[in-house]
Structure 1
Amino acid sequence: MSDQKRLKISDADGVTVVEFKDRKILDDIQIQEIGQEFSDLVEVDGKRTILLNFSHVEFLSSSALGKLISLDKHVKQKDGTLKMSNIRPEIMEVFAITRLNKLFDIKDDVPDALAAFRG
């Protein structure tokens, strides 16, 4: 497993569950590191079934949204599946405004998302 500074990685029923260590994802360097960790997860670690758990995230910059879009494309290119869960209403509002709620598969919580992977 590659070294993770910004993400906490665990496994649940064959799904790679990714939690963000930072509450605010705003800084460019921080976002670049997250992007690199996303890339390593798919390319180095070979993960294809990924759940992003946003339970700790309070703020997300537009640059961070770009990394999420890139991760989604990357995972789909590898015939994988990306889901998201536990997105706060304020962040969900941004997803709705940018129509990213249509692009991403977003579930209410981790158990919901894990069930969707199985279903």
Structure 2
Amino acid sequence: MTAIRPKINVDYMGSATVVSFTDEKILEEKDISELQNAIMSLIDSDAKKTKLILDFGNVRFLSSAVLGMLIRISKRVYEQEGRLKLCKLDPKIYEIFKITRLTKTFDIYSDVESAAEAMS
């Protein structure tokens, strides 16, 4: 597992890249921008057809700006004919995804293993 600033760990499960957020709160605009840049760099450094899993297991609070970041990440992944899965969303965060109808945009799984299996 590789720790990358800002506040993510990168691991690999099969052919998928797993990005785990290490902070409990993702609220600051600067942090969100750094996260987006780090994840976009991972996507761009990968070959076409990136398989990316974003693990929210540690996250309890996030700002609405994170939703915008996720949409931009999703767009980049799909431009490269890749696949994106989210997993381990806190129930309160999942509720935000339901209210904003992002559950129709993102494939959300209960754990990393299920998300990785769905990549096969």
* Fold conserved between structures, TM > 0.5: yes
Q: Give the Cα–Cα distance (whole angstroms) in 1 for the partners of residues 91 and 47 of structure 2.
A: 32
Q: Which runs of 5+ in 2 are unaligned?
A: none
Q: Which runs of 5+ in 1 are unaligned?
A: none
Identity of paired residues, percent? Answer: 38
1:72 maps onto 2:74 in alignment: yes
1:59 maps onto 2:61 in alignment: yes
Q: Give the Cα–Cα distance (whole angstroms) in 2 for the partners of residues 64 and 46 of structure 1.
A: 25
- Residue 30 of structure 2 is matched in structure 1 by 29
Equivalent pair of 1:15/1:114 in contact (CA under 8 Å): yes
Change (3 A) 1:5 1:45: farther
What amino acid is aligned across from residue 97 of structure 2 in structure 1? F
1:110 maps onto 2:112 in alignment: yes
Deviation at 1:87, TM superposition (A): 0.5
- Residue 93 of structure 2 is matched in structure 1 by 91
Q: How many corresponding residue pairs?
A: 117
- Residue 5 of structure 1 is matched in structure 2 by 6
Deviation at 1:20, TM superposition (A): 0.4
TM-score (norm 2): 0.91
What amino acid is aligned across from residue 44 of structure 1 in structure 2? S
Equivalent pair of 1:6/1:33 in contact (CA under 8 Å): no
Structure 1 vs Structure 2 CA RMSD = 1.5
